Amino acid sequence: MNANLARAVTAAGMLLAATAVGMIDTSSNTASAITPRPCGFYPLNPPQGEQTGGYVHCGDGFILIKFHWSTGTTGASCIPPYSSRPFFRDGAHKVVNAYYVTTRPNLTGPPGNQMCSTYQPRA
């Protein structure tokens, strides 16, 4: 393919892609739903349905996070590598913070195919 034809095809492709992106209707809720989340805890204000926040893990190992409810109670959750965990409303209560703790999570499965165990240690 000659250089002029390659440039023309590339320009046409870019024009079609730009047109398609411009045709996507994004309300503020939709735009926030597709925006990549930063690593760690994030609150959703306003909530998206019943989801009030979440935690994004940007590392390559399993971790344990501790989370705090608005009632003052806490919980722990195992997060797989490069994964996220949504937090949902429980009646009037919601998770207000979550963070990494150094306690090792309980894993199950053979090496190379491990996953989070159902039961996790208290953090």
pLDDT tens digits for range 11-42: 555 545 554 444 444 445 555 556 666 899 99
Give 95's pLDDT tier (boundaries 50, 70, 90): very high
Which residue shows structure tokens 């503020």?
28
> How far apart are alpha carbons 39 and 30 in whole angstroms?
20
Token digits of residue 77: 């959750």
pTM (two decimals): 0.69
Judge contact between 54 and 68, C-beta under 8 A: no
